[in-house]
Amino acid sequence: MRAQFLILIEVIILLTYWSYTGFYILNDIDNHDDNGGSDGTLRFITCRFDHFSGLGNQLFRIASLYGIGQKLRRKVYFNSNLPTVRKAFLNFEQNFPNIANDAVTLVNTSLITEKVVLFGMNDRQYDNPMLIVKKTKYLKIAGNYIQSYKYFDGYQSDIKRIFTCQSTVTLDKRYVLDFHWRNEWHKKTHNLCVHTRRGDFLGIPFFRASSKQFTDPAVKTVLQTITSSNQSKVNVIYFGDDPQFVNGLYRSPQKGVKYFDMHKLQLTDVEELCFGIQNCDTVLLTATGSTFGWWLAYLHKKDGNVYYDGILSNYKVHGWNINDYVPSNWHRICADSGIAQVSHVPCPMRA
Ligand SMILES: *[C@@H]1O[C@H](CO)[C@@H](O)[C@H](O)[C@H]1NC(C)=O
Ligand SMILES: *[C@@H]1O[C@H](CO)[C@@H](O)[C@H](O)[C@H]1NC(C)=O
């Protein structure tokens, strides 16, 4: 019911949008037009923001637009008239300076003319950007979330550079850690970061929140994989917004294995992400739909693997495709039966 309601709202927003802007559909009348570069003019690209949303959603917009922009020879711009964008930008300037310095330009859209193209309308599904043919200087795609790694596949080193944390953020983190966890932090210790998400996900029926049913067997299995490959010391670090839930998760005593809770450090979202990027060896996503967890996994610097719950949503959602959303080198885990298994085929869904 709620999902249908959300889709209805989305349709209403779109229709309203349509009546204001006069939509330019893919391959419409002037389809010999091209994008930037060939005649030397600088061209730009942005997307629709209904709500700028949390950090993970913001990073997806920047990365996807960057990748699309590279293909179309366009630079990314954001509308400086939106207070949420200005606020996020201040945050970027402090914590991810490369975003503000070279990936995204703020443009006052009251002073320019934008043309809108119907593209990226499905939140977690890839569309081919080469189908966008528009000569206009300021191009706005009507998609809002554009969350497929395929938009920036091939630019991974650019994306990692753009999303480099300001060094002070990570330095502070080391201090926080030394203080709280003292001797538990050794170079030889393998950090298994287990991302969980409950909170708002519990209120949206199709969003699959972390569950004990998935997390416990998944942690056990991944831990086994790590310890069986000569890693005798492992920190299992639980990330998550629900302390009570996290407290109830897998904590079996085992020689060399210690359990930690990130929420005890009371970090901001940026600090938590930057901490994870620096320190996680292996990442396990127990709420695969969380874009924050997704970025933790994508940006983490060390060599370890990424594991994720192979079920993205509680039921099939139009426009969500897990194979467009999750990189193919991450390891899918199916664990709904109570036993976790790494799988190369889709996980069976309970009725
Ligand atoms: C954008 O331009 C308009 C018109 O000149 C102006 O009123 C507005 O304050 C500007 N917005 C920003 C964020 O500078
Ligand atoms: C594990 O350690 C043994 C003994 O030191 C060594 O022979 C083996 O190659 C190591 N395996 C891995 C995967 O590093």
| Higher-scoring residue by pLDDT: 130, 24 | 130
In whole angstroms, how large is the CA radius of gyration of the chain? 21
Q: What is the mean pLDDT of the chain?
A: 86
Tell me which of 162, 177, 200 is where a domain ends.
Answer: 162
Residue 330 has pLDDT above 60, yes or no: yes
Predicted pLDDT of residue 30: 42
Taking the CA of residue 81 as reference, the ligand 1 atom at the shortest distance is 13
Q: Same structural domain for residues 123 and 223? A: no
Q: Same structural domain for residues 269 and 308? A: yes
pLDDT class for 279, splitting at 50, 70, 90? confident
Q: Same structural domain for residues 217 and 268? A: yes
110 phi-psi bin (left φ>0, alpha ψ -120 to 50, beta other) = alpha
Taking the CA of residue 229 as reference, the ligand 2 atom at the shortest distance is 13
pLDDT (average), residues 129-141: 91
Q: Same structural domain for residues 112 and 36? A: yes
Domain count, the chain: 2
For residue 350, is it within any domain?
no
Mutate which of 230, 231, 232, 305 to test ligand 2's pocket (most atoms within 8 Å of Cβ)? Answer: 230
How many Å lie between the centroid of ligand 2 and the Cα of residue 229? Answer: 8
Shortest-distance Cα residue to atom 12 of ligand 1 = 81
The response to whether residue 112 sits with its C-beta less than 6 Å from ligand 1 reads: no
Q: pTM for the full model? A: 0.86
Structure tokens at 12: 């209403």
Q: Same structural domain for residues 101 and 173? A: no
Q: Same structural domain for residues 315 and 335? A: yes
Taking the CA of residue 230 as reference, the ligand 2 atom at the shortest distance is 1
- Per the CB < 8 A criterion, the answer to whether 139 and 117 are in contact is yes
For residue 19, is it within any domain?
yes
Q: Same structural domain for residues 124 and 215? A: no
Tell me which of 162, 194, 214 is where a domain ends.
Answer: 162
Q: Same structural domain for residues 131 and 183? A: no
Chain segment 201-237, per-residue pLDDT in tens? 999 999 999 999 999 999 999 999 999 987 789 999 9
Residue 292 has pLDDT above 80, yes or no: yes
For residue 317, is it within any domain?
yes
For residue 347, is it within any domain?
no
For residue 263, is it within any domain?
yes
pLDDT (average), residues 283-311: 96
Shortest-distance Cα residue to atom 13 of ligand 2 = 229
CATH number at residue 180: 3.40.50
The response to whether residue 80 sits with its C-beta less than 6 Å from ligand 1 reads: yes
Domain span at residue 147?
2-162
Residue 122 has pLDDT above 70, yes or no: yes
Q: Tell me how crowded residue 115 is: count the other CB atoms within 10 A of its CB.
A: 15
Tell me which of 147, 162, 177 is where a domain ends.
Answer: 162
Q: Same structural domain for residues 135 and 211? A: no
Q: Same structural domain for residues 136 and 179? A: no
- Per the CB < 8 A criterion, the answer to whether 83 and 65 are in contact is no
pLDDT (average), residues 33-43: 68
For residue 348, is it within any domain?
no
Predicted pLDDT of residue 28: 41
Q: Same structural domain for residues 147 and 216? A: no
For residue 191, is it within any domain?
yes
For residue 351, is it within any domain?
no
Q: Tell me how crowded residue 57 is: count the other CB atoms within 10 A of its CB.
A: 20
The response to whether residue 213 sits with its C-beta less than 6 Å from ligand 1 reads: no
Q: Same structural domain for residues 26 and 156? A: yes
**Residue closest to 338 by CA, chosen among 248, 220, 171, 207:** 220
| 182 CB burial (10 A radius; 0-12, 13-18, 19+) | exposed
Predicted pLDDT of residue 119: 94
Residues in the chain: 351
